[in-house]
């Protein structure tokens, strides 16, 4: 299994030029560079990962991030795979299998 850094598209304009404007100990507010919409990604646990995976290297603090629904760690990565399949995500800290959604959407 291969993991990739999160790519999050703006829920308002679809741009992936989105950055994480806060820090995990505070909140997960993200801002779209294109239209200034703000939102917070969140995850839902849908299972457990048993396959081995390599954790991608440390990212910029402004790279998109989301909290794990189970352990709260901001070490959630996307599973690389079939681009047509629904995206699934993995917490590298506790191996929860997750889906990712966006909440707290405030159009810019
Ligand atoms: Zn936008
Ligand atoms: Zn976790």
Q: What pLDDT, on the 0 to 100 scale, is given for residue 29?
A: 98
Site of tokens 């990565």: 77
Question: For 19-46, how does the pLDDT look when each residue is reduced to its tens digit (9 = 90+)?
Answer: 999 999 999 999 999 999 999 999 999 9
Sheet architecture: strand order including 89-91? 3-4, 76-79, 89-91, 96-106, 38-48, 30-32, 18-20
Using a CB cutoff of 5 Å, list residues around ligand 1, an ion.
10, 12-13, 15, 32, 34-35, 37
Average pLDDT (57-71) is 94
pLDDT band at 87 (very low <50, low <70, confident <90, very high): confident
Residue 34 lies in domain: 3-106
Residue 19, CB-side half-sphere exposure with 13 Å CA sphere: 8
Q: Global pTM? A: 0.91
Cα 1 to middle of ligand 2, angstroms: 17
Cα 48 to middle of ligand 1, angstroms: 32
The encoded tokens of residue 100 equal 């990712």
Element (H, E) at 97: strand 96-106
Q: What pLDDT, on the 0 to 100 scale, is given for residue 36?
A: 98
Number of domains in the chain: 1
């Amino acid at each position: 299994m291969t993991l990739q850094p999160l790519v999050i598209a703006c829920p308002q304009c679809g741009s992936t030029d989105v950055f994480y404007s806060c820090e995990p100990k505070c909140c997960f507010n993200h801002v779209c560079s294109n239209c200034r919409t703000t939102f917070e990604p969140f995850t839902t646990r849908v299972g457990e990962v048993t396959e081995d995976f390599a954790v991608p290297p440390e990212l910029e603090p402004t790279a998109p991030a989301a909290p794990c629904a189970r352990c709260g760690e901001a070490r959630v990565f996307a599973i690389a795979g079939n681009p047509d399949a629904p995206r699934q995500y993995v917490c590298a800290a506790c191996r929860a299998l997750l889906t990712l959604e966006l909440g707290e959407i405030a159009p810019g």
